Chains A and B, each alone.
Chain A
Amino acid sequence: MSRFFATGSDSESEESSSADEITPKATGTTFNKQFEEFTNIIKTIRNAMKIRDMSKCLEEFEQLYRAFLKSKTIMDKEGVPQFYIRLLADLEDYLNQLWEDKEGKKKMNKNNAKALSTLRQKIRKYNKDFETEIASYKENPEQSAEEEEKDDIGSGYTLSLCQDEESESEDDEESEDWGSDSVDSGGESEDNEGAAASLAVVFLKKYVYGDKHPERKKDDRRKRHKKMEQVDEEADEEGEGEEGGWEKVKGGVPLVKEKPKMFAKGTEINNAVVIKKLNEILQARGKKGTDRSAQIELLHALAGISNENNLGEGILVKIKFNIIASLYDYNTNLAAFMKAEMWKKCLECIDELLDILFENSNIFIGENIAEDSENLAISDQPFRVRGCILTLVERMDEEFTKIMQNTDPHSQEYVDNLKDEGRVCGIIDRLLQYLESKGSTEEVCRVYLRRIMHTYYKFDYKAHRRSLGLQGETKSEQDQEESEGEDSAIIMDRLCKFIYAKDRTDRIRTCAILCHIYHHALHSRWYQARDLMLMSHLQDNIQHADPPVQILYNRTMVQLGICAFRQGMIKDAHNALLDIQSSGRAKELLGQGLLMRNMQERNAEQEKIEKRRQVPFHMHINLELLECVYLVSAMLLEIPYMAAHEFDARRRMISKQFHHQLRVGERQPLLGPPESMREHVVAASKAMKMGDWKTCHSFIINEKMNSKVWDLFPETQRVREMLVRKIQEESLRTYLFTYSSVYDSLSMETLSEMFELELPTVHSIISKMIINEELMASLDQPTQTVVMHRTEPTSLQNMTLQLAEKLGGLVENNERVFDLKQGVYGGYFNRDQKGGYQQRQNYQRGGYRNQNQSSY
């Protein structure tokens, strides 16, 4: 038993060991148990130390203290065990070190920090009891440890006769111990070099163990392959058959050297060997416990070897394919995104791969090439390699989107990541060239779509500038370079038309159409965009599409609406935006963020899916701009309509959203000057209601609104001019609707002055109103005046009409009750009556419809 409680002194242990042999079995087991408890607790403390979990440390320390008290009797007899002292010393050192580390302390969470301070105090107090032991340990830590170990082993051997089983199990435990330690220390050497120094025990133990396995003295770099090593170790120890042996080839043997080496010295490196090797590596792919990063490195090394030995491009391409594939494999989780270095590597690899493919036109690649019909060797025959470059590039594109989704859009990091977009586009462009010459139409369609997806949302400034005639002054070389390329419109047109003609999957075509429309709309080609939208009939069947396509559709509709707005087609703009805006979930529908209120409704899984659908930030459509455009359109439509139908009971709202904003504005107890975009629109609406176009104008177009909204348009000046004009016109209409009852006649000249519109415009607006029977008036040509007919019913008359209508309904309802009582369903009298009502209603409705139509 002394083996477990051995102190530094040999003689004592010798004695105790002999004494132990006569100790009854029963006590032996209790000692054993206590020992186990001790080691377990110490192990957990050490682990907690490594992960800096102070609260855990504290908890375990208290347990340890209790356990120590329990076995006090033995302690008294045997003396305090060395490992206990060691732990105490280490723990104190460690805590002091942590305590000094001000930075680290700050980072700690509250619980940990608290635990740290209490633990530090406790151990200080506690350690006073063991001052001498600790001091002696600190003086010569290794020696004492060695002694113990030696002692351990020695006594273990001496006792092996009587306690064979026990020692064996102990041994096992030790080895396991070692395993976990080495794993940890490996991890540490990666992340926490400093902390490792204090953990003398770990190294000491290993050192001792290392005697048995000399090759274990390895540099840190190798420890990264710890899992493999473990596997290897198992194989070593168990000496298994083929399986283990196979594993050894890849991980174990080369590990003896600094760098992983593939082949035994002197092996002739040829195609067959490399392929065999490659297959070996690949077989580990996807298996549990395979170190993915190591695999990537191995593949890289293999590529290097094949390159050195000039094994031909075929094999190189094959290896490259696999490198890229394993790069993608690196993240097992679908939601996780690639690390920056991985991503860089991936881009490089694909670039290199494309280089090779371009240089060697005799390489055939494809998914359809079977594994055994591959031709990788240099021969007269062209190379045939299985693999699909298109899939790889598509995957790369998706990874790029994922990276962008997972980067904070307001950080410099995002900008840096976004710079890679150029490379992604470059790769897609090169692939496009390659496939245009070699690929099937299907593949071409797919790569075209990728290209389109990277083009459609970008505003073509250079074409815009050219169209404005400003192209002459390109400032930098880059600009010049840019302006040499094709206009994006032409590219879009070419690519999309190819897809329309050749594509056979509906989805690619749908996406292409939507992108095309988006692109048209973005560049203010309203009629092309609208025609394409109408011809494609997408509005009818988009609800059957998958969510990403629907998001694209929503984006397109919104862009279409904004385009219509820029062109001054207010009604079209309103109609296009109505669906998105009326839901109040524009953000969600455009894939630009998740709504909070839905958080409870969806579970985590769904949320993950939805997160994956999000559009990266640089493609976002400005939501404020969208809302503003919608609200201003609604204002321009709704205010005159409201004025025209002031007394109409059946008045329908054109835009609920707009009315909502108006109501919110009304509810304000104190009306300050408008701050937000919405308040501006509401204030402008109020001014417009009074026909005060100047105030309305000043609310809609001012510096705040310019910076918030209008300056975001490329042709901002033109849009503003259009808006002013619309405001003038609609204000005039509103004015006429609201105040026509006050006038007998109105001079058109006065109106034209009031609204700063030309006389012919005023004339045309009023004529239109008269024709549409919105305004009961006639034009007097010689005097240029509008003469009111005053035939509009007064509000009282309107009200009475409404009442009459309602009473009609009431009577009808009442008669139905009567019918039921009589048991006559639609008797002669009744039917006649109903017909009468219906006729009247129809007549009236007709009238309303006329009015409705005319008001648009």
Chain B
Amino acid sequence: GLIRFNDLYRLYEFENGKTQLFNSWGVVLKIIKHYQEEGQGSEVVQGVLLGLVVEDRLEITNCFPFPQHTEDDVDFDEVQYQMEMMRSLRHVNIDHLHVGWYQSTYYGSFVSRALLDSQFSYQHAIEESVVLIYDPIKTAQGSLCLKAYRLTPKLMEICKEKDFSPETLKKACVGYEHMLEEVPIVIKNSHLINVLLLDLQEKSMVADKHELLNLSSSNHLEKSLQLLMDRVDGMSQEIVKYNSYCRNLSKQQQQKQQYLQRRQQENTQRQSRGEPPLPEEDINKMFKPPQAPPRMDTLLIAGQVNNYCQNIKAFTSQNLGKLFMAEALQGHSS
């Protein structure tokens, strides 16, 4: 999918209610360009966001891509590259402060362990970091899809502890809904560009916008379903794992209980005989609780499934709307 000039106009109209994040058009176009040049299919492109914090908002004013590096050049040092790049930018007097990173996504699949880990390290090091998720497929369908996410403080706490056991997560009350918080984005342009866009809007025809009415093929839906199915499978496996853990745990509890009872009986007998009671400390050595499966993956999967569902829902409701519109139009014309 190509972004034409008149798309830019539409992009201009895109605005979110609450402003927290300012993004300049240059950045958006750079990200899009990066994907179109290097990303293909399910491949993911990534890059670094640069900008600065102004009052309560984060302004992203520039970015640069991570180079695709093949497995051949192992000694390629990403950190080195970043530092080098930022130093160079600084020399030409461009904002060089690291404020996060961006990543493209394939049918909305981005909630993964890798994202969590890197976002955590970013947010840990630079508190205000965000991750920008760019969905090229949706964008190609006619609406720019760019979202900014941050890890919630709760999740940050958990990640810091590196404790993903069921109990901790339960205590922290972290559900899949509470993992990432979306940050509203506002895209700002210089006035000169605004003028250009307005000018272009005048010239653009309705014919160019027919893409908006395009009923996307079921291919998109199929892909989403496939991905969704895959994640559901993963979820099932996780649940089975958890289930067997729970069963093992309860079984052990029972055994422990039985053992304790027996020991108590023995002790009472011993007491009646006047012997010293047997100690009860060794019980924990004998019954080591089974390793609890980390629940983070389950959470991530749930988040991803949620994401897919949202996507599919949005997609279908759009399509349905279009269908109704077409029907109405047909009824009108006949």
Contact = CB atoms under 8 A, between A and B. Distances in A.
Interface in B219-277: 221-222, 225-226, 228-229, 232-233, 235-236, 239-240, 242-243, 246-247, 250
- Size class of the contact patch on chain B: 10 to 19
Nearest to B236: A810
A549 B226 CA distance: 51
A56 B235 CA distance: 73
A811 to B, nearest CB: 10
A796 B220 CA distance: 10
Given A807-B232, A810-B235, A810-B236, A799 B242 contact: no
Contacts of B222: 795-796, 799
B243 A803 contact: no
B218 interface: yes
B246 A817 contact: yes
Given A817-B246, A820-B247, A803 B239 contact: no
Contacts of B225: 796, 799-800, 803
A656 interface: no
Given A796-B221, A799-B226, A800-B225, A806 B239 contact: no
A814 B250 CA distance: 17
Contacts, number: 43
B302 to A, nearest CB: 11
B243 A817 contact: yes
B290 to A, nearest CB: 14
Contacts of A794: 218
A702 interface: no
A818 to B, nearest CB: 10
Interface in A495-534: none
A293 interface: no
A380 to B, nearest CB: 89
Nearest to B226: A799
Q: Is the interface of A mostly helix, strand, loop or mixed?
A: helix
A803 B226 CA distance: 8
A43 interface: no
A813 B234 CA distance: 12
B220 to A, nearest CB: 10
B243 A806 contact: no
A216 interface: no
A782 to B, nearest CB: 37
Given A803-B225, A814-B239, A820 B232 contact: no
A816 interface: yes
A799 B218 CA distance: 11
A79 interface: no
Interface string A308-330: 00000000000000000000000
A547 interface: no
Contact of B239 (A795, A799, A813, A821): A813
A802 interface: yes
B232 A806 contact: yes
B303 to A, nearest CB: 16
A803 B223 CA distance: 12
Contact of A810 (B218, B239, B246, B247): B239
Interface residues of A, number: 17
Contacts of A820: 243, 246-247, 250
A806 B227 CA distance: 13
A95 B218 CA distance: 90
Interface in A771-829: 794-796, 799-800, 802-803, 806-807, 809-810, 813-814, 816-817, 820-821
Nearest to B219: A796
B308 to A, nearest CB: 11
A462 to B, nearest CB: 63
Contacts of A803: 225, 228-229, 232
A806 B233 contact: yes
A800 B312 CA distance: 12
A562 B311 CA distance: 55
B226 A806 contact: no
Given A796-B221, A796-B222, A813 B229 contact: no
Nearest to A800: B225
A809 B229 contact: no
Interface in B150-178: none
Contacts of A795: 218, 222
Contacts of B242: 817
A816 B243 contact: yes
A799 B221 CA distance: 10
Contacts of B226: 799
Contacts of A802: 229
A817 B242 CA distance: 8
A418 to B, nearest CB: 56
Contacts of B221: 796
Nearest to B240: A813
Nearest to A820: B246
Contacts of A807: 232
A410 to B, nearest CB: 45
A806 B218 contact: no
B144 to A, nearest CB: 27
Contacts of B250: 820
Nearest to B249: A820
Contacts of B239: 810, 813-814, 816-817
A100 B242 CA distance: 84
Nearest to A806: B232
A799 B229 contact: yes
Contacts of B236: 806, 809-810, 813
A797 to B, nearest CB: 10
Given A800-B225, A810-B236, 16 more contacts: A799-B222, A799-B226, A803-B229, A803-B232, A806-B229, A806-B232, A806-B236, A807-B232, A810-B235, A813-B236, A813-B239, A816-B239, A816-B243, A817-B239, A817-B243, A817-B246
17 contacts: A794-B218, A795-B218, A796-B221, A796-B222, A799-B225, A799-B229, A803-B225, A803-B228, A803-B232, A806-B233, A807-B232, A810-B232, A810-B236, A813-B239, A813-B240, A816-B239, A820-B246
Interface of B: 218, 221-222, 225-226, 228-229, 232-233, 235-236, 239-240, 242-243, 246-247, 250
Q: Which are the 3 A-B pairs with shortest beta-carbon distances?
A: A813-B239, A820-B246, A799-B225
